[in-house]
Amino acid sequence: MNLKTLQLNWIKPLVFVVALLPLVLLMVNASLEQLGANPAEKILHETGIWALRFLLLTLLITPLRRLTGWHDLLRLRRMLGLYSFFYACLHFLSWLLFDHVFAGTLAWQPIVSDIIKRPYITVGFFAFVLLLPLAITSNAYMMRYLGGRAWQRLHRAVYLIAIAAVIHFWWLVKLDISEPVIYAVILAILLFLRRYRAA
């Protein structure tokens, strides 16, 4: 066990706790009624943006590892990926709850028509559905069961998910696309770094 492995032993729980902070903050502010005039919109936006941020952090691990030679970083990747999935679940559930619970009941038909008719929801839903198999196969047992090569092939879907997530954000904006553009640029850099290495 080298020094860096030792460091990781406490970095990992630290990251685990820090990654929960956006949710804690959201809950504290909700209980204090400090989520602004439109709390539902705030919750939808925050859970969505953190799902995207953790996804990009997950994609950052490999280039960072190569840059620093700190190979143990890989041990953080699964956790970051699962946090992305966690916030995506909260995002999806808030959408069901705040946009589709009407007079106390969940209306299915508008959900389906939203997914089919609204392009930004279509791509967002697509990204979420694609995340499911990745989350399910993220444990060591499933990794062994699938075998390294098949597992890796499956998990390349993360690139598609990230692209869909950025498009989802871009398409829902009314006019000022400066924020989604920032995420698109970061994603482009992360994807480019991989391509560069492959060449």
Partner 1 sequence: MLIQRPADIPSSEITPKSVYLQRRQFIQNTLGLGALALLPEALQAKSSDFPCLKKSPYSTSETPTPYDKVTNYNNFYEFGSSKSAPALLAKYFKTTPWSVRIDGAVEKPGTYTLEDILKPHTLEERIYRLRCVEAWSMVIPWVGFPLADLLKRFGPTANAKYVAFETLHDPEQMPGQKSRFSLDWPYVEGLRMDEAMHPLTILAVGLYGETLPKQNGAPLRLVVPWKYGFKSIKSIVRIHFTETRPATTWGRMGPDEYGFYANVNPAVDHPRWSQKTERKLGGGFFSSLFKQETRFLNGYAEQVGHLYAGMDLSKAF
Residues 6+ apart with CB under 8 A from 54: 19, 80, 81, 83, 84, 87
| Closest approach of partner 1 to the CB of residue 169, in Å | 13
Q: Does 98 bind partner 1 (CB under 8 A)?
A: yes
**30 to 89, contacts with partner 1 by CB under 8 A?**
30, 33, 36-41, 43
| Closest approach of partner 1 to the CB of residue 22, in Å | 19
HSE, side-chain direction, 13 A CA sphere, residue 105: 4
Q: How far apart are CA 186 and CA 88, in angstroms?
A: 19
CA 180 to chain centre: 15
Q: Which of 24, 74, 129, 177 binds partner 1 (CB under 8 A)?
A: 177
Of 48-56, 76-84, 93-101, 134-142, which segment contacts partner 1 by CB under 8 A? Answer: 93-101
Instruction: Write the single-letter amino acid at 138.
Output: S
What residues line the site for partner 1 (CB under 8 A)?
Answer: 30, 33, 36-41, 43, 97-99, 101-102, 110, 114, 117-120, 171-172, 174-178
